[in-house]
Amino acid sequence: MRIWIASDHAGFLLKTHLKAWLTSKGYEVVDIGTHSEESTDYPLWVHRLAQSFPPEERGILICGTGNGVCMTANRYSHLRAALAWNAEIARLARAHNDANILCLPGRFISSEEAEKAVEAFLQTPFEGGRHERRISQINQLSI
């Protein structure tokens, strides 16, 4: 399972940190960009990731608050993007929402807490059951 990762300028430093940390743990990381701290537009990087991302893999998206990338990612029916500001929220995003994308607030989370959130995101299984029914309703816009 590969980890896809993308950010805007505000998430670039945390993306760089997490990419090195994930690689050191043996994960294969697909880095979509951005590639510097130069100002850029967050939707571009989300669209680039979304267009290639296999939904059974895992993705990480980072902008200043996490909301810009999360909003954009959830435009896609094959992405379930959750915004986590700590490890417990990341754990629940997997257990209850079967999230395949973790969004992080680059300007509002420490590297240490981000590592813990990513670890919870990668290691927590989906609980299924009543949550399976809810997941299936997310894309039923005319329910």
3-state class (DSSP) for residue 31 = strand
Compute the distance between CA of residue 92 and CA of residue 111 in angstroms, rounded to an integer.
20
Active-site residue among 9, 63, 70, 103? 63
Compute the distance between CA of residue 130 and CA of residue 88 in angstroms, rounded to an integer.
20
The H or E element spanning position 122 is: helix 111-123
Active site residue 9: no
Interface with its own copies (CB under 8 A) = 39, 41-44, 47, 50, 64-68, 70-77, 80-85, 88-89, 92-93, 96-97, 99, 105, 108, 130, 133-134, 137-143
CB-facing half-sphere around the CA of 38: CA atoms within 13 A: 4
Task: In angstroms, give the least distance from the CB of 18 to its own copies.
Answer: 20
Active-site residue among 17, 47, 96, 131? 96
**Would you say 1 or 143 has its CB closer to its own copies?**
143
Active site residue 63: yes
Active site residues: 63, 96
